[in-house]
Amino acid sequence: MIFSNLLVKWYLQNKRDLPWRNTQNPYYIWLSEIMLQQTRVAQGMPYFYSFIENFPTVFDLANATEQEVLKLWQGLGYYSRARNLHKTAQIVAYELNGTFPNNYKALLKLKGVGDYTAAAIASFSFNEKVPVVDGNVFRVLSRYFGIESDISIASTKKEFQDLAFELMPNDAIATFNQAIMEFGALQCVPKNPNCSVCVMNHSCVALQKKMVNQLPVKSKKVKVSQRYFNYLILEDENEKTIINQRTDKGIWHNLYEFPLIETLADVDDKIIATLIKEHLLFENKINNIFSLNDKSQLHILTHQRLHIKFWKIEINGVLQNGIDIEKLKTYPFPIVLFNFIENHFRN
């Protein structure tokens, strides 16, 4: 078929040399696929190398503590991926004797493994004929074939999976799946693709109909909430501070943070002082309160915009459970807090 032949030929000439493409080891492929969910390759690559250096086998990852895994994952975001990664490693190591399931349906039963990831592992490691369908694949197929189905609707995914399956050759399954994703990542990019140099430009429906920028169709809009975080950076007479672990479900679950007061809007030091007393956050007498950033720092998440202020709280006496800077830096923090610590707590 024209599409498949052009696609594979383009891939063999233009593919990036990525470490997880040079192996059929399901552990490495699974690790890379989990890391690359909603993450660019350039960002994920150092983490991949770091993980396989620290945890060369699934047994090493399973035997690590969750805190060790989260610390190594720090900065990659979407931390539920790291927690699921750890739990799945324990299942594979302890219940499956270190052997990953060798087919799509069985892989789907692993925690954190959805349709796309299961298809990727099954095809790349075990050469099972199952199509991968991610954002890149939606974009390539919708543009080339002029498909105007709304990809935010669940039934559309089946439509694209069926089409991708029809297009797949019976041999070189892994190559085809890699090729269509790579084509979407490098050539058929979301905005302003260079169609003039595209090998598909003579047969692409979207290009002929001048619909490249309109496809794929995605009507569902994500509601974004605004949240206001006030972090209290306590310092006692021994220059120690305190942190807490986030145990509630939601963002940054099981990561660490400074004592937090969430408000409905930006607040000043007088309001913070009042809120501290109301919340009874600590028993020590406050000597001084001042803002470490007069303007809130904006931290953007997928569905949330966090407006973050850091408040220095100098207190009298010694903090119960206070920790020093050296120990502080060993805990896993959200990247916005890790960066603050690196800048504020200099040795």
Interacting residues of 37 by C-beta distance below 8 A, sequence separation 6+: 78, 81, 117
Asked if the model's pLDDT at residue 196 lies above 60, the reply is yes
pLDDT (0 to 100) of residue 347: 56
Under the banding of pLDDT at 50, 70 and 90, the label for residue 223 is confident
Which alpha helices (H) appear in the chain, and where do they start and end? 2-14, 26-35, 41-54, 58-63, 66-73, 80-90, 104-107, 115-126, 135-145, 154-167, 173-186, 205-208, 269-279, 325-328, 335-344
Asked if the model's pLDDT at residue 262 lies above 60, the reply is yes
159 is catalytic: no
Tell me the whole-structure pTM to 2 decimals: 0.89
Interval 91-112 mean pLDDT = 96
Which of 33, 53, 257, 262 is an active site residue?
33
> Could you tell me what percent of the chain has a pLDDT over 70?
98
Asked if the model's pLDDT at residue 283 lies above 80, the reply is no
Instruction: Encode pLDDT of 148-184 as tens digits.
Output: 999 988 889 999 999 999 999 988 899 999 999 999 9
pLDDT (0 to 100) of residue 310: 97
Lowest pLDDT segment from 15-24, 253-262, 337-346: 337-346
pLDDT (0 to 100) of residue 344: 86
> Where does residue 258 rank: exposed (0-12), middle (13-18), buried (19+ CB within 10 A)?
buried
Q: Do residues 92 and 58 lie in contact, with contact meaning Cβ atoms separated by under 8 Å?
A: yes
Lowest pLDDT segment from 2-6, 13-17, 184-188: 2-6
Instruction: Encode pLDDT of 55-90 as tens digits.
Output: 999 999 999 999 999 999 999 999 999 999 999 999
